[in-house]
Amino acid sequence: MGLTDFINRNQIYKLIEKLQSMISISLIAHDGKKPEMVSFVMKHKEFLSKCSIYATGTTGSFIEKEGFLVNKLLSGPRGGDAQIAAMVAEGRIDIVIFFRDPLDKHPHEPDVQMLMRIADVHNVPLATNPKSAYYILKGVEAVLNAELPL
């Protein structure tokens, strides 16, 4: 076994580790923001397709229609936001992307606020609009790319 065989094998092991520790992202969007979420997901398809995606019910259905594998939870008003908050608290979600509609009233606003508080308590990145979500994904990509073998 030569040096190149060792390097290639080492690279393979590192790639396997990365695959085994896939990033878990939750995607949530209020009704008026679902088209924006679908657009965002499609723009970042290459990155997001490598992640484990968890989404509230209706948002997840929209994302599934674009060809993504989605772990769908309850819809937001029926407890989906609370389910994602629990997953954040358990360390099962790495990033929360929640396109909120701040100009509309939502009956489940206490759940939304709880999710945001839990993300802060557990130091989980939270984006509430496409621009902040973009910067979070770009930051994660930069870290991952720096760790990839040349």
| Residue 120 among the catalytic residues | no
Helices then strands, counting H and E runs in the chain, come out as 7, 5
| 5 falls within a domain | no
d(CA 150, CA 137): 21
Tens digit of pLDDT for each residue in 7-53? 566 665 555 445 445 899 999 999 999 999 999 999 999 899 889 99
**Residue 78 corresponds to which tokens in the numbers above?**
């029926």
In a domain? residue 91: yes
- The verdict on residue 18 lying in a domain is no
CATH number at residue 95: 3.40.50.1380
Closest CA to 87 of 50, 67, 114, 63: 114
Higher pLDDT, 150 or 95: 95
Give the active site residue among 5, 31, 81, 94. 81
Residue 50 domain flag = yes
d(CA 76, CA 94): 19
Phi and psi torsions of 111, nearest 5°: -65, -40
Decide if 8 is inside a domain: no
Q: What is the pLDDT of residues 52-70, one digit of tens each?
A: 999 999 999 999 999 999 9
Q: Which residues contact 21 (CB under 8 A, 6 or more apart)?
A: none
15 assigned to some structural domain: no
Task: Please tell me the total count of domains within the chain.
Answer: 1
Residue 123 backbone zone (phi > 0: left; psi -120 to 50: alpha; other: beta):
left
Domain assignment present for 9? no
Q: Does the residue 14 lie in any domain?
A: no
Structural domain for 107, as ranges: 23-147
